[in-house]
Structure 1
Amino acid sequence: MAVSDRPRVLIGFAESLAAIESAWCLRDAGFDVVAFSRAGRRPPLASARSVRVLPVPAPETDVAASVAAIEALVASERPVAVLPLDDAALLLCDRLATTVPLAAPTGAQVLLALDKREQVELAEKAGFAVPRTTLAHAGSSGEPPPGDGPWMVKCALAAVERDGRLSRPAGAVAARPDEVRTIADRLGAPALVQPLLDGVGEGLFGFAAGGDILALSAHRRVRMMNPRGSGSSACRSVDVDPEVVAAVRRFLTGAGWHGIFMIELLRDRAGRPWFIELNGRAWGSMALARRRGLPYPEWAVRAALDPDWRPPPPPDAPHLVCRHLGREMVHLLAVLRGARGADAGRWPSRGATLRDMLRPARDTRWYHARRGESVVLARDTWATVTAQVRRRV
């Protein structure tokens, strides 16, 4: 491969949901892109043109070896910046013994990005509506769950390090107090216990610097990959809620945040937005932002290279729906299979789902769809569907 004279950015992990769109965003901005991936995997990004994907030991096997391998890549590739794309990469890159600029939070901001206990506390101080929250610990009865069930029990840490290995324990819903303790024991880490809220997921995105929040955008979920609850398979851009902006400004100013951010919310049936969490790195729905002219990954790198840099005013872009082909197929398969047990009363109907998903719409765009890169879309779709089928089997 010919040596590029473009400034190089190292990104990772290449298998994260944000990887493909972030890599293309940086390429379009004039950067050479190298991505690190867990050894033994070949993510769809590896099929992208002009993007090199290099292996490092998986942090789920050896955190220290993963950090050392990323440091070696920094030394050999000499990037102008490193852009972590997921929580594992955020934790690892904060430990790099190198002076390369990180296009991500550092120091106390990393702790905030990875610890939901700190996020909940700061969100309450900032004036967000926050679900009543108690803590549960493995091997301990902990505090009583708040109010009546059911409750969402989720790990308080975005990445758990134990015996030199990283894990990301998945939360679950508890119907009884004894189930809260069972789930907390399975997580093996501090857990947040909150009443299960019914509503629609939203996100507020932007760039924070010096107490200002700039280049704001927002979206709302249209469908989830799993109708029971999961990441979105389709999302729609919406107008930014000014009341939410005020709380976000207080939250980020209190944190001393600098760079891109995502605040995840859940809007209940009464229209009240509830704070869920902060994502301090690139997020999965980056495709929607980019289609609307908001290249957040590029801006994260620009800000890392120049602390005084500020993004230009966002374009007056029309609202769009962005769909992930593989996740939409998983959603459709789940609906066609039908509901079981407690899900029966709120499961989407087959007819309505088919009409919604097959109806053509001018305002629709697709994740990872790019001229000349059809192999990337095909591989990503196949990997998404087969991973979910294997999990169910």
Structure 2
Amino acid sequence: MHRPHLTVAEQPSPRTSPSAVRPRVLVVATGRDRGALAAVRAFSAAGWYVGVGTPEGGGVLGSSRACDVTYRVPRPRHDGTAFVDGVRRAVSAGGFDVVFGGGDDWMAALSAYRSQLPLPVAHPAFDVVETILDKVRLAEYAEKAGITSPHTELASDQALADWQGPVVVKCKEHWAPNQTRPLRIEAKLFATAADARPQVERIRAAGAQPILQAPVDGSLGALIGVFHDGRLHGRTQQESTRLWPTPNGASARARTVPVDEELAARVEAMLLELGWHGLVELQFLTGDDGVPYLIDFNGRFYGSLALAESAGHGLVRTWGELTLGLEPPALPDATPGKRYSWFAGDLRRARRERRGGLVRDVAETLRWSLTARHSTWDVTDPRPSVALALGRLRRH
């Protein structure tokens, strides 16, 4: 069996030797995970000792000054043996108290293999995680709670033949035990089901199940918080004003807005029915009719997490403390009007969209970024941005 290489000595670096009461967290993710980077910074700011496990043995994520120690942890593929072994070696070397997964596959694998790991896993039981990653089953739970979601069904040959009008093609789930390759294939919009068939076949060829979803023409938003004891704590609601890639990408810009109380109540009812606990980011598309359509459930660190951390009062720290059985202070709602920028994505968007012309769009992108919390850039922690830029230069 392949044994992952440990990138540090068995003892922590002298500059970061933790005290006996300093919580120790391990975050496993890909080396370029922007949400995991925001989480690592948040844990460090709260006084936690932070370990990072990635396939690269650090990467952009491990270059952060918030990271105390790095390990090599393989992706959760095949029977999970190499992944579990990598996590166990990191825990043995670092004496960590809790482990978090940075992406859907990392989260799901930690949940699925938790009985083989010698420390608490922050994520819910695997049957719950499996449900929220399954877009067909998620839509059923949303409907029970009175939350609208787009019409969604499995992309069978008959469903393709019967479908009328435009269609979005997605993967039904993003991780499954014994998978050998990534299942997260980008969602795409097609004018007809006939145009969508090659994408359906591509997803099938990757070993995943494709689904068909009715498109919603609307603005992207999200409701965020830590769910505990039937309530959503530290509620943060945001709206995305620019996306990349367009038109169905991630937030290139976003800002916090007041919480929709009716939507929040329905979300709490759905999370309670699901048996969820911990961090949640629910993404919605809201059209001209004002109805928010649930399109995605992120139960782990997500791309624009830096915005919630800057506008709130410690979602990441609170999730960690709850996982360790502590009772953190009450979290108020996030402050409206805070800004977020994924600057690299926003610049690529400006080059494509050229709103009012390329120069004008780029200038507006720069103006927005000056007062925004960034996904990667931080003046007190510049090394991840430098590492990311150098990596792009090498690839080109």
Report TM bin, short chain: 0.7 to 0.9
- 1:197 equivalent in alignment to 2:216: yes
1:330-384, Cα deviation, whole Å (9 max, x unpaired): 2223235xxxxxxxxxx7753652353243687533233434322223333555x
2:54 is equivalent to residue 37 of structure 1: yes
Q: What is the alpha-carbon distance in structure 1 between the residues aligned to residue 277 and residue 155 of structure 2?
A: 32
2:169 aligned to which of 145, 148, 153: 153
Structure 1 stretches lacking a partner, 5+ long: 337-346
Say which of 312, 316, 323 aligns to 1:293.
312
Question: Which residue number in structure 2 is paired with residue 221 of structure 1?
Answer: 240
> Which of 42-51 and 268-277 deviates more?
42-51
2:324 alignment counterpart: 305
Is 1:186 matched up with 2:202?
A: yes
- Return the match for 2:281 from 258, 262, 274: 262
Aligned residue for 1:119, secondary structure, equals helix
Cα distance in 1 for partners of 2:48, 2:292 equals: 38
> 2-side partners of 1:381 and 1:229: how far apart?
25
Residue 18 of structure 2 is aligned to residue 4 of structure 1? yes
Alignment of 1:95-114 (within 5 A): 95-96=113-114, 97-114=116-133
Question: 1:62 Cα shift?
Answer: 7.0
Counterpart in the other structure of 2:340:
322
Asked if the contact 1:170/1:187 (under 8 Å) is kept, the reply is: no
Deviation of 1:160 (Å): 4.6
2:298 maps to what in 1? Answer: 279
> Residues 51-81 of structure 1: CA distance to partner in whole angstroms, max 9, x if unpaired?
1222122335774312221122122222111
User: CA offsets per residue over residues 81-100 of structure 1, 9 Å max, x none?
Assistant: 11111111112212131241
Task: Verify: 1:143 aligned to 2:145, yes or no.
Answer: no
Select which of 82, 92, 101 maps to 1:75.
Answer: 92
- Kept in 1, the 8 Å contact 2:253–2:340? The answer is yes
CA contact (8 A) 1:326 1:380 kept: no
Mapped contact 1:205–1:217 kept (Cα < 8 A): yes
Question: Is the Cα–Cα contact under 8 Å of residues 242 and 253 in structure 2 kept in the other structure?
Answer: yes
Point out where structure 2 has 5 or more consecutive residues left out of the alignment: 1-12
Q: Aligned ranges for residues 23-34 of structure 1 at < 5 Å?
A: 23-34=40-51
Contact persistence 1:263–1:279 (CA under 8 A): yes
**2-side partners of 1:262 and 1:145: how far apart?**
34
What is the CA–CA distance in structure 2 between the aligned matches of 1:223 and 1:186, rounded to whole Å? Answer: 28
Q: Closer, same or farther in 2 for the Cα pair 1:65/1:142, shift >3 Å?
A: farther
2:352 is matched with which residue? Answer: 334
Q: Residue by residue, what CA displacement relative to the aligned partner does 1:100-153 show, whole Å, maximum 9, x if unpaired?
A: 11122223221123222221110111111111122114xxx1425776321001
* Distance in structure 1 (CA, Å) of the matches to 2:167 and 2:243: 20
The answer for the alignment partner of 2:362 in structure 1 is 354
The alignment status of 1:368 with 2:368, answered yes or no, reads no
Structure 2 contact 163–193 (Cα < 8 Å) conserved: no
The offset of 1:168, in angstroms, is 2.0
Aligned to 1:87: 104
Residues matched between the structures, number: 373
Contact 1:171 1:187 in 2 (8 A): no
TM-score of the superposed pair, with normalisation by structure 2: 0.85
Residue type at the aligned position of 2:367? R
Partner-residue secondary structure (3-state), 1:100: coil
1:169 aligns with 2:185: yes
The residue matched to 2:65 in structure 1 has which SS? Answer: coil
CA contact (8 A) 2:25 2:50 kept: yes
Alpha-carbon distance in 2 for matches of 1:323, 1:330: 13
Identical aligned residues as a percent:
24
3-state SS of 1:359 partner = helix
Q: TM-score, normalised by structure 1?
A: 0.86
Instruction: State how far apart, in whole Å, the 2-side matches of 1:44 and 1:207 are.
Output: 26
Structure 1 CA distance for aligned equivalents of residues 118 and 124 of structure 2: 14
